[in-house]
Amino acid sequence: MHNKTRTKNHIETEAIRTQIERSQFLEHSNPLYLTSSYIFEDAEDMRASFADEKQRNIYSRYTNPNNSEFVDKVCRMEGAENGYAFATGMSAVFSTFAALLDSGDHIVSCQSIFGSTQTLFNNILPKWNISTSYFRINEIDRIESLIQPNTKILYAESPTNPAVDILDLTLLGDLAKKHNLIFIVDNCFATPYLQQPIKFGAHLVIHSATKLMDGQGRVLGGVTVGSSELIQKIYLFSRNTGPALSPFNAWILSKSLETLPVRVEKHCDNALKIAEFLEGHDKVNFVKYPFLKSHPQYQLAQNQMKLGGNVVAFEIKGGIDAGRNFLNAIQLLSLSANLGDTRSIVTHPASTTHAKLSEEDRLKTGITGGLIRVSVGLEHPEDIINDLNQALN
């Protein structure tokens, strides 16, 4: 687990130099430990290990060297004490809530959150008598009125998906402190390179590692990091219920993190260029990108993020039909559900990911009929712009 004694380096260095102990072969690049279990020296070693008197690997549903390296790296990049790695982002979200909440507890969450997380709050957690109250992005001053005696968790994502709104993490962190709530942030869109929610008072940070952490659209993964005390509960829940990340995926993800800072830097550079191009286009009503001066929370984004992220949202003139026609005219970019890939991806939330919501609920999360989300990849920005331009025209 997390070794606090090593000196703290810059995030780029932590991403590359955080590694588990070398084997007797002194390999430079870390090996893959495909083993479901580990052996014991003798009866006493086995007894002490099972009694948690020793920190060592017992079974890969609990810990595995590749998973530990991946978790350790994310901890160092996020400034967290400890963590646990999951098979998917959603298993990280579900296991975190299931481990920390009891029947009768209550969550206060921003309305603009990932679709499956909303389904978890609305349809699954109520089975265990856990309820959720939502505030909208522009209703921060209503949060205190939503807090009840049984409220345990304050939950948010920033930037939000797909409307890329920004939430004030300092303000949320202060509210959580004042009301003694566990503040949890899904930091998937920003990555620790752009924003470290623990600095603003988050107790736990969740990632879908499937997105920018892998960054190449290959594997699913998730991770929760934060305070040791909370992670211990999440670890005990998870080692018994089995949402563990596969060591192969952990090995991939740990390697991917080595290039996260340079990839994200370039993603953001491309995204800003694309946002600026779209802002000047006559078929576009508005563009939302956190580092465009026209973004309603531009100053806030500047204060809490290093760069604007890789997701650009814009509204095409002509509503739902124009959005569908635009997707049909796209040639180079991919129509896909993922994001944070080297390949640029366009989606039309109103006719796809958010089609099941009523128009009223869609508008509450900022999704208008003509809203297009672009996950800007690492192709040459001129080629991305050319494709968007021909599809708009």
Ligand X SMILES: *Cc1c(COP(=O)(O)O)cnc(C)c1O
Site for ligand X, rule CB under 6 A: 88-90, 114, 157, 161, 186, 188-189, 208, 210-211, 220, 222
What is the C-alpha to C-alpha distance for residues 201 and 188, in angstroms, rounded to an integer?
Answer: 17
**Rounded distance between C-alpha atoms, residue 344 and residue 196, angstroms:** 25
Nearest CB to ligand X, comparing residues 99 and 391: 99
Contact between residue 267 and residue 243 where contact means Cβ atoms under 8 Å apart: no
- Closest to ligand X by CB, 67 or 391: 67
Which residue sits closest to ligand X, CB atoms considered? 89
Residue 257's closest CA among 100, 77, 42?
77
User: DSSP assignment of 253-280, as one string?
Assistant: HHHHHHTHHHHHHHHHHHHHHHHHHHHT
Minimum separation from the CB atom of position 87 to ligand X (A): 8
State how far the Cα of 326 lies from the Cα of 324, in Å rounded to an integer.
5
CA distance 311 to 365: 16
User: What does DSSP say about strands 284-288 and 204-208: parallel, antiparallel, or unpaired?
Assistant: unpaired
Closest approach of Cβ 68 to ligand X, in Å? 20
Name the minimum Å distance from CB 114 to ligand X: 4
CA distance 164 to 289: 7
The Cα–Cα gap between 378 and 320 comes to 28
What length is written for the chain? 393
At closest approach, how far in Å is the CB of 180 from ligand X? 26
State which residue, 297 or 310, has the beta carbon closest to ligand X. 310
Least spacing, CB of residue 386 vs ligand X, in Å: 27
Can you tell me the distance from the alpha carbon of 110 to that of 255, in angstroms, rounded to the nearest whole number?
33
Residue 352: what residue type?
Answer: T
Sheet holding 284-288, edge to edge: 284-288, 311-316, 371-375, 345-347, 334-335
Minimum Å gap between C-beta 309 and ligand X is: 12
Q: Which is nearer to ligand X, 107 or 147 (CB)?
A: 107
Select 208 or 368, whichever has its Cβ closest to ligand X.
208
Nearer to ligand X, 220 or 278 (CB): 220
Q: Which residues contact 74 (CB under 8 A, 6 or more apart)?
A: 80, 83, 192, 207, 213, 223, 225, 257
Least Cβ distance, residue 21 to ligand X (angstroms) = 29
Structure tokens at 194: 């752009």
Q: Taking the CA atoms of 331, 336, 339 and 341 in sequence, report the sign of the dihedral they define.
A: negative
Q: How far is the CB of 163 from ligand X (least distance, A)?
A: 12
| Choice between 251 and 277, CB closer to ligand X | 251
How far apart are CB 116 and ligand X at their closest, in Å?
A: 6
Q: Which tokens in the block code for residue 217?
A: 């659209």
Q: Which of residues 151 and 310 has its CB atom nearest to ligand X in the complex?
A: 310
DSSP category for residue 358: -
Q: d(Cα 165, Cα 24) in Å, to the nearest integer?
A: 50
- Pick 175 or 253: Cβ nearer ligand X: 253
